Amino acid sequence: MFNWLFTWLESRVPSFPTELPDKPTPSVWGFIRYYSRPFLPLIVAGLTLSVVIAVIEVRLFAFVGSLVDTLTGADRATFWADNKGALLFYGALALLIQPLLSALTDAIENQGLRGNYAMRIRWMAHRYMLRQSMEFFHNEFACRIATKVMQAALGVRDVVMKLTQVISYVVVYLITAITSFSIYDPRLGIPLLVWLVLYAITMRYFVPRLGKLSEKQADMRSVVTGRIVDTYTNMPTVKLFAHASREDDYAREGMSWMLQSVYDSMRASTMMNLVLNLINGLLLTSTAALATWLWYTNAITVGAIAFSVGLIYRMLGMAHWMLWEIAGLFEDFGVVKDGVDVVAREHAVKDKPGAKPLAVTQGKITISDLHFNYGKPVSDEREVISGLTLTIKPGEKVGLVGRSGAGKSTIANLLLRFYDVGAGHIDIDGQNIADVTQESLRAAIGVVTQDTSLLHRSVRDNIRYGRPDSSQAEIEAAADKAHASEFIANLTDPNGRKGYDAHVGERGVKLSGGQRQRVAIARVLLKNAPILILDEATSALDSEVEAAIQENLNALMEGKTVIAVAHRLSTIAAMDRLVVMDKGRIVEEGTHAELLKRKKGIYASLWARQSGGFLIPEDIKAAEAAE
Ligand code: ATP
Mutate to test the pocket of ligand 1, among 133, 378, 384, 539 (most ligand atoms within 8 A of CB): 384
Most confident of 124-133, 203-212, 315-324: 124-133
pLDDT band at 507 (very low <50, low <70, confident <90, very high): low
- Taking CA atoms only, the protein residue closest to ligand 1 atom 1 is 404
pLDDT band at 627 (very low <50, low <70, confident <90, very high): very low
Residue with more model confidence, 367 or 58: 367
Average pLDDT rounded to a whole number, residues 429-448: 92
Res 219 pLDDT > 70: yes
- Asked if 564 and 534 touch (Cβ cutoff 8 Å), the reply is yes
Phi-psi region of 242 (alpha: psi -120 to 50; beta: other; left: phi over 0): left
User: How remote is the CA of residue 433 from the centroid of ligand 1, in Å?
Assistant: 21
Best of 376, 386, 408, 421 to mutate for ligand 1, by most ligand atoms within 8 A of CB? 408
Identify which of 339, 347, 351, 341 has the alpha carbon closest to the alpha carbon of residue 121.
339
State in Å, rounded, how far the first CA of the chain is from the last one. Answer: 90
Question: For the CA atoms of 558, 564, 567, 571, what is the dihedral angle to 10 degrees?
Answer: 10
Assess whether pLDDT exceeds 60 at residue 615.
no
CA of 565 to the centre of ligand 1 (A): 13
Spatial separation of the C-alpha atoms in residues 531 and 520, rounded to whole Å: 16
Which range among 24-28, 323-327, 599-603 has the greatest average pLDDT? 24-28
The dihedral through the CA atoms of 156, 160, 161, 166 has a sign that is positive
Tell me how far the alpha carbon of residue 326 lies from the centroid of ligand 1, in angstroms: 49
Percent of the residues in the chain that have a pLDDT greater than 70, as a whole number: 95
Comparing 66-75, 255-264, 535-544, the range with the smallest average pLDDT is 535-544
Q: Which atom of ligand 1 is nearest to the CA of 567?
A: 2
The helices-and-strands tally (H runs, E runs) of the chain is 22, 10
pLDDT of residue 613: 46
For 50-117, give the DSSP string.
HHHHHHHHHHHHHHHHHHHHHHHH--HHHHHHHHHHHHHHHHHIIIIIHHHHHHHHHHIIIIIIIHHH
Report the SS3 class of residue 589: strand
Q: Which residues contact 71 (CB under 8 A, 6 or more apart)?
A: 79
Q: What pTM was computed for the model? A: 0.78
Residue 273 predicted with pLDDT over 50: yes
- Give the HSE-up count for residue 58: Cα atoms under 13 Å, Cβ half-sphere: 22
Cβ(367) – ligand 1 distance below 6 Å: no
The closest residue, in CA terms, to atom 9 on ligand 1 is: 407
pLDDT computed for residue 622 by the predictor = 53
Indicate if ligand 1 lies below 6 Å from the C-beta of 450.
no
Count other C-beta atoms under 10 Å from residue 185's C-beta.
18
Look up residue 598 and give its DSSP letter.
-
Cβ of 571 closer than 6 Å to ligand 1, yes or no, is no
pLDDT of residue 208: 85
Q: What is the structure's pLDDT at 621?
A: 52
Whether the per-residue pLDDT at 49 is higher than 50: the answer is yes
